[in-house]
Structure 1
Amino acid sequence: MHYYTFHPKDYMSKTGFLEPLEDLAYRRMLDYCYLNEKPLPADIDEIALLVSMRSHCDSIAVVLRYFFELTEDGYINDRVEKEIEAYQEKSEKARVSARARWDKRKPKTDPKANKDEASCERNANASETHDGRNANHKPITNNQEPVTNTNGDDEKALNIPFEVFWKTYAKSVAKDKCKAKWESFSNKVREQIMEHLPAYVASTPTKKFRKDPMTYLNGKGWLDDIIVDEPGINQQSKPSYSSMNVNAKYEDPNYDPLDGLASGTGAPHGNY
């Protein structure tokens, strides 16, 4: 057994008189019995060796006296024996049930249908339709292979991680929703977004004028044109007459109403 049920209240009520080393010895002796599904040896020195407490045989002797019984097979604990028996019975029923399901699903023309009993049991335990209720269920341990994601295009398959987009956009609003949306895109769309995004961010240095990232993604903002100020035009270099007398512009010695018209850059007379 790789695990067993432990009842702290029950355990403490029956072991409260034990010294710390005796308590440690008892826990290690229980672990040995459950893990190996067999009694402790009849020799105390051998038990001490198995639980790595060779210099504490006295503590082991106290535990054996109060919690174990010596039989022909060695020292047994009544509670442990019942737990192991129930576990083995459940495992056997699971094996039988799994084997029956597996045999039922085999094609009648399968040339391997007449395999011997041992082979059938291996097939049952290795059932390709294993649903968690099949033979001899045991919890995951460090020795088992890690579970991998089989959903296909998972996070590991993203050509551009979400964090790259998020750091580039630099406006933290609704991150979880944006992440889900980002992962729903194809690799091609993510590439198009990252080709467009740096220029868009540069065109909106003030974040309050930049779209929320979710709005950008939902609205396919990467397909929009980027609008920036035309280079070379300095709005402050031109005189402003909004707060001056209506005739002040005409009094300006440098004013020429036809200035710029020849080159197509001046304003028409209708604006004056």
Structure 2
Amino acid sequence: MNFYPFHLGDYASHTRHLSLLEDLAYRRMLDLYYTTEAALPVEPEKVARLIGMREYVHEVADVLSDFFVISDAGHTNSRCEEELALYRAKADRAKSANKARWGGARAGLAAEADEEFEQSSKGRATHANLAPLKSETRSETELQTAQIATNNHEPVTRNDKPINNLPIKKIKPKSKTAATPQQCEEYFEYAWEDYPKTSACTRIAAYQAWNARLAEGASPVQMFQGAGSYADFVLDKQVELDEVMHVSVFFGPERHYLTDWDERPLWKHEETYFDEEEY
């Protein structure tokens, strides 16, 4: 957890009796509690080391006795536990909502891909079946005509001269139906709604980048899906707002929306741990 609400009035009213060192110790204990999302150790000496105040174990012990309760998990704080419970509930709701939305979108995309593969397979099978039929129906007259045409350097194509007076029908693979302009607009609205926006993210920049990729032939479904996956990534990994990718970069030429954000590991700067040997 990299963010938690801090109520100045409540904090001031409950900490007026603390000395400067005790106030510093308490603030660092809160940061440690929220960062690790776990109770503090039972031993005051260990807590002092973790918050970088090993020379002030006495002050640390006094703060622990004032604001924390010893339990089986360690020193717990009721206010911290309430904030963590609210944070986890909100994160679970947001994650469930995103998965419900993107689950349907991914299912639709998979069905569309299966249909396209099936159509392509039928096209390849049709061409394979016609190839031997054409060669088998060539008569001796046709072969002689082809030889004469070769000698005269004026080849007669099989499309120009039908076989057995029957024209040869050209078979073209069915192309994938493109999204309509209205569907592209709807996909953009969904993507913009779910994208983790910051104060620097503007709708105009997102829309311009979106249309630029559409002009290059990008799939609006993939862009829409990518925005949701990135939103899940930001939520799951607790990415700070100032670290969120700008929306124009996300939909930019590098096409970050194609990244498999579900498999992306934790960023190095997000990993937080405490090594006792460092204190």
TM-score, with normalisation over the residues of structure 2?
Answer: 0.44
Larger radius of gyration: 1
Q: Which of the pair is proportionally richer in helix? A: 2
Q: Does 1 or 2 have the higher relative contact order (CA < 8 Å, sep 6+)? A: 2
TM-score, with normalisation over the residues of structure 1?
Answer: 0.45
